[in-house]
Amino acid sequence: MAESSTSNNAAERIGYITRVQSFSACHRLHSIHLSDEENKKVFGKCNNPNGHGHNYKVEVTVRGKIDRLTGMVMNLTDLKKYIEKVIMTPLDHRNLDKDVPYFASVASTTENVAVYIWDNMAKILPPNLLYEIKIYETDNNIVVYRGE
């Protein structure tokens, strides 16, 4: 009986899987809701009209029950495909402001990049599996978004 209860408990265990992906993109921190002077004051050198670039590192974390038959929360091959579709294809080696329609009216801050990734990952992942998006804009600047 103890063996049976152990296997039942295993079916209820929750796991977290994180896949790391890097991409390069440029942007200009600029809000269409602010004047040019306000943009310069708020964003400083990052408001340069010619923009600037980053080598972003994104961590996509999913959370769910560990399947007792497969031993997985989800197949990492599937997660990799989703990341390719949501992050790499639309964002890698792009000008976020000019190449990604979402940022035509939304300032391309790292916070908003995290929201963009979250919203698009949530659309294609199984329901309630997405846990966290963490983006390293630089080694010192990190944004975490959990859909809140």
Active site residues: 46, 93, 137
What the block records as the tokens of 148 is 């809140």
**DSSP letter assigned to residue 70:** T
Tell which phi-psi region holds residue 93, choosing left (phi > 0), alpha (psi between -120 and 50) or beta. Answer: left
How many Å apart are CA 84 and CA 81, to the nearest integer? 5
Count CB atoms within 10 A of the CB of residue 118: 19
Torsion 96-102-106-110 (CA) sign: negative
